[in-house]
Structure 1
Amino acid sequence: MRINLSVLLLLLTLWSCAEKRSVNDKEATSLDDFKSYHLDLNLPKESFVDMIESVELMQFEETDESLLSTIRKINRLDDGFVFHTDKKIGADDHLSIYFFDENGKFQKKINRQGQGPEEYSSIEDLWIENGLVAVYSMPKSVIYRYTTEGEFIDSHKLPDQLRVGGIQPYKGGGYVAEMNYLPINDTSYYKFAKLDKDLKVENPFLKYSKAPDGMMMPINYSTVIPYQDGAQLFRVFSDTVYAYVNDEFAPLAYFNFKEDWFWRDKPEPTSNDLQKVEAENKAWVIGMSIGQKYIYADALIGYSHWEYFLINRMSGKVKRMGMPKGKSVREEFYYLGWEEDRLMFSITTVDVPDILSALDESQINYREGTTLEKIESSENPLVMWVKFENFK
């Protein structure tokens, strides 16, 4: 079967990684040395549900103003959540920013989508900065800032026609960014960069030996993720995660698929390479969420399916997981990041019965205001926090 470019973009858009919770510094100190993990596609699968110690479920309240599509990225606030959703055909709800309290009760939404000087045309990254909502919109390479009521405060355009793939504020000042296969000053190509408070390139990292050849334009993923007091940085088509912490850039984790990694011996991916992905049927896109003790990772194999892994960061032991319903790229069961020792998932109401039926009642908790009856009567997605059984 031939995969055209539009299908490829759909497949990649379905992949995302969105860890929005920092790792506890004391827990992580001994874990931040660079480590390699072998992700073996021939490991026997263990049931995802059988690996669960407990779950907690929270329903996002469904109102006329909060009819939600799939959630793939989420920001955790002290008293709740803020996020935008995936695009639905014929609707612009994905350009609204939703606020819910810590029990999933709808608070408000704002939408400043448009073509005016105070409006964004898309949302590639979203964060809360000094009590303001910050939106990075790639088409104009602008960061917009609003109050939580949607009032425009200011905007800052990236200089030198930079159109970064992902960007997040850095607690030490400035920003860290993934450079999106595009050049700095029209000549130099780097994978990542530290930007100063004025969004000028302060320090680039990992220079290409030559310019990437004919790469496609970027799509919506999180390539820069808060981590400790800095950020995790990674690329699509890469098997290595980097960290920028304490003003230092260093590799953090290497996912070793050995002969099952498509990009082996290829210096930089090209558009021609992408035509070979289906025939070789190897791992070529990786997503991951790095927690205090564990890493949750998935990999797209050719154009056919995803593989899932849970990794013990200390011991390096890897478990290959069989997900509910044998999840394919089109099913809506997505991880949102770790909160301490629990991994957050966005799941649909139709996924809930299969998961809960395989657990004991003692393993299931409901957040205040959420009941099984409310879940069954709503079409809004849920957040499910999963605590995995310990393994070494």
Structure 2
Amino acid sequence: MKSYNRYSILISFVSIVLIQCQSKIDEGVSIDTPSFLIDNKEVLPFEASVSDIEFIPLIAPEDTLINLSGKVYDLVIKDKIYYANKSFKDLSIHSFDLNGNHLRSWNKKGNGPGEYPTIHGIIVEDNTLFINTGRGNLLEYSLPELDYLSEIKLADNNFVPTVSKSGEDNWLISTEKTGNGREKIFQIINSETKNTKELSILSLPFSGELNPGLVANTNNGKLLNFGLSDTIYHYQQDTVTTYLTLNFGSKGISAEDYELDGHAFMEKILLSQNYAFNSGLIDYSDGILKLMIYGIDKSNNFNQEDLSTFPFYDVFIQRDTGMKKITKSLTDVRNSTYSKDGYFYQVLQYEDWQRALDLSYFGKYEELLLQCVENLIDEEDPIILKYTVGF
């Protein structure tokens, strides 16, 4: 097999997690910042990590060409469920009621007025839906018809993977950087005045390849994260502080490892499964932080060409009490979760829930999943997993 084919999936993964790592010393982490040891001594079954669980089937109308399956997607939960297929071949957006019954579908893929060429994320505020095209602009549509309203230009960067609303006309974005220098990766942009403020968080040399900076909303600001970071940051009212730090013990990556090139890093850090690190995914719900960590323990069926076999773990941290729970992740690093009213939500594609059944992943909750599967119109349609974490 050619080297390109052999490492194609791994290169995509490392592009997400390798590029943004952070030095606690350089950012001056306070001695008062709580630190959490992340190791394999506290890994629990999923059923021991949750206190409430529900499976919601996304039900497409019969006798239609609506396709809900997809490897890459975005999910927003408001008074309705909004589900966007981010695969370039599709780019459809769908809405459902909170029980999963289909309401509407839209597809305005294209480069013309009111059309979107790509979807890197969706934001729903009141009766407005914003699409982040990843090209430094947002397209604004009214709901429920998805009528085009305007374009909001945010940045001239080639790639803006993350956009989060941060007050009236203010947007928090992460951007792609070029070159190998350490650069500021998060910005606040006012879409009316065009004023830009760069936050103090610095990237490391690999940041020029891709920017996976991600954001989670809290009641009093936003949490910021990126791949390989051992620090989670808090942003509020133009101020960045350290929220918590992660300690991977003997599986932590040394400073000299960051000097490796991408191929050498994959061989030593990723393929060996001897190291643990923060993937960059982040969510937050009702005082509980959710992260996805790689390599806490080794995967016995590791296949470098199949991300579902990679050793990803969901880590839940209740910062104020110092408590945490760790469980094997069912999904991989390509898609984030959503949170609302104390619940976490994530999409299970056919491959995900079928694997869960094969592994008895949900334990005592498996019967609920089987009941949900029976309600699907098409077996390949997705299911939304809704749950709370019990401490």
TM-score (norm 1): 0.74
- TM-aligned CA distance change 1:276 to 1:134, over 3 Å: same
After superposition, the Cα gap between the structure-2 partners of 1:376 and 1:51, relative to the gap in structure 1 and judged at 3 Å, is farther
Worse-matched range after superposition: 283-292 or 1-10: 1-10
Distance 2:377 2:8 in 1: 34
Q: Which residue of 2 aligns with 1:299?
A: 293
Q: CA deviation at 1:374?
A: 1.0
For residues 60-99 of structure 1, the C-alpha deviation after alignment (integer angstroms, 9 at most, x for no partner) is: 1123254212465311222x11121252xxx722x11111
- Is structure 2 residue 255 aligned with structure 1 residue 265? yes
Q: How does 1:49-68 map to 2 (within 5 A)?
A: 49-63=47-61, 64-68=64-68
Aligned 8 A contact 1:98 1:109 in 2: yes
Q: Does 1:122 align with 2:122?
A: no
Percent same amino acid among aligned pairs? 17
Per the alignment, in what secondary structure is the counterpart of residue 171 of structure 1?
coil
Does residue 277 of structure 1 match 2:244?
no
Confirm or deny: 8 A CA contact 1:113 1:119 kept in the other structure. Answer: yes
SS in 1 for 2:185: strand
Q: Deviations over 1:363-387 (max 9, x none)?
A: x599xxx855214863211112223
**Post-superposition offset of 1:208:** 4.2
Q: CA 1:158–1:44 in 2, change beyond 3 Å: closer, same or farther?
A: closer
SS in 1 for 2:48: helix
Once residues 14 and 182 of structure 2 are traced to their aligned partners in structure 1, the CA distance between those partners, rounded to angstroms, is 26
RMSD over aligned CA atoms reads 3.7
Contact 1:166 1:223 in 2 (8 A): yes
Match of 1:74 in 2: 75
Partner of 1:225: 216
**Which residue of structure 2 aligns with residue 350 of structure 1?**
354
- Letter aligned with residue 283 of structure 1: A
Paired with 1:371 and 1:270, the residues of 2 have a C-alpha distance of: 48
Cα distance in 1 for partners of 2:213, 2:267 equals 24
Displacement of 1:162 in angstroms is: 6.1
Partners of 1:74 and 1:284 in 2: CA distance: 25
What does residue 44 of structure 2 align with?
46
1:21 is matched with none
Report the secondary structure of 1:237's partner residue. Answer: coil
Quickly say closer, same or farther: Cα 1:53–1:230, change in 2 above 3 A.
closer
Q: In structure 2, what is the Cα distance between the partners aligned to 1:270 and 1:109? A: 47
For this pair of structures, how many residues does the alignment match?
Answer: 349
- Alpha-carbon distance in 1 for matches of 2:364, 2:228: 35
Deviation of 1:195 after TM superposition, in Å, equals: 0.8
Cα distance in structure 2, aligned partners of 1:277 and 1:13:
11
Partner of 2:105: helix, strand, or coil?
strand
Task: Render the CA deviation track for 1:163-221: whole Å, top value 9, x for unaligned.
Answer: 333111212441111133348xxx99312111112373532112649x83583245xx6
Aligned-partner SS, 2:199: strand
Q: Which residue of 2 aligns with 1:7?
A: 9
8 Å CA contact retained: 1:336, 1:343: yes
Task: Give the number of the structure whose residues are more often helix, by fraction.
Answer: 2
Provide closer, same or farther for how the CA distance between residues 123 and 376 of structure 1 changes in structure 2, counting only shifts above 3 A: closer
Q: What is the distance in 1 between the residues matched to 2:276 and 2:195?
A: 33
**Counterpart secondary structure, 1:358:** helix
Query: Which SS does the other structure have where 1:277 is aligned?
Result: helix
Aligned CA distance change for structure 1 residues 154 and 385 (closer, same or farther; 3 Å): same
2:51 and 2:345 mapped to 1: Cα distance?
A: 14
Cα deviations by residue, 1:237-268 (Å, 9 ceiling, x for unpaired) = 32222222234322223222134233x4269x
Aligned pair in 2 of structure 1 residues 278, 248: CA closer, same or farther (>3 Å)? same
**Match of 2:151?**
155
Equivalent-residue separation in structure 2 for 1:162 and 1:359 (angstroms)? 45
* 1:59–1:383 Cα contact (<8 Å) kept: yes
Distance verdict in 2 for CA 1:270–1:59, change over 3 Å = farther
Question: 3-state DSSP class of the match of 1:84?
Answer: strand
| Deviation (angstroms), 1:34 | 4.4
Pair 1:180 & 2:176 matched = yes
Cα distance in 1 for residues equivalent to 2:250 and 2:242 = 22
State the Cα deviation string for residues 304-337 of structure 1 (Å, max 9, x = none). 42233333323323333245xxx4749x9x7623
Structure 1: which 5+ residue stretches go unaligned?
Answer: 16-32
Question: CA, structure 1 residues 215+259, in 2 after alignment: closer, same or farther (shift >3 Å)?
Answer: farther
Amino acid paired to 1:169: K
Match of 1:189?
Answer: 183
Deviation at 1:105, TM superposition (A): 1.0
Partner SS state of residue 255, structure 2: coil
- 8 Å Cα contact 1:345-1:383 kept in structure 2: yes
- Once the two structures are TM-superposed, the CA of residue 145 in structure 1 deviates from its matched residue by 1.3
Are the equivalent residues in 1 in contact too, given 2:49–2:325 (CA < 8 A)?
Answer: no
Is 1:246 paired with 2:242? no
| Equivalent-residue separation in structure 2 for 1:290 and 1:146 (angstroms) | 27
Q: Does structure 2 retain, via aligned residues, the 8 Å contact 1:335–1:345?
A: yes
Q: Answer whether contact 1:158 1:199 (CA < 8 A) is retained.
A: no
Q: List alignment gaps of at least 5 residues for structure 2.
A: 18-31, 299-303, 305-309
Would the alpha carbon gap of residues 50 and 225 (structure 1) be closer, same or farther in structure 2, given more than 3 Å must change?
Answer: closer
Aligned to 2:89: 92
Per-residue CA deviation, residues 274-311 of structure 1 (Å, 9 max, x unaligned), is 53233233124423322224333221239642233333
Deviation at 1:122, TM superposition (A): 0.9
Q: Distance in 1 between matches of 2:8 and 2:193?
A: 32
In 2, Cα distance between equivalents of 1:52 and 1:208: 35
2:346 is aligned with what amino acid?
F
Partner residue in 2 for 1:36: 35
Paired residues of 2:86 and 2:120 also in contact (CA < 8 A): no
CA distance in 2, matches of 1:356, 1:376: 22
Indicate how the Cα distance of structure 1 residues 77 and 145 shifts in structure 2: closer, same or farther if over 3 A, else same: same
**Using a 3 Å threshold, how does the CA distance of structure 1 residues 188 and 195 change in structure 2: closer, same or farther?**
farther
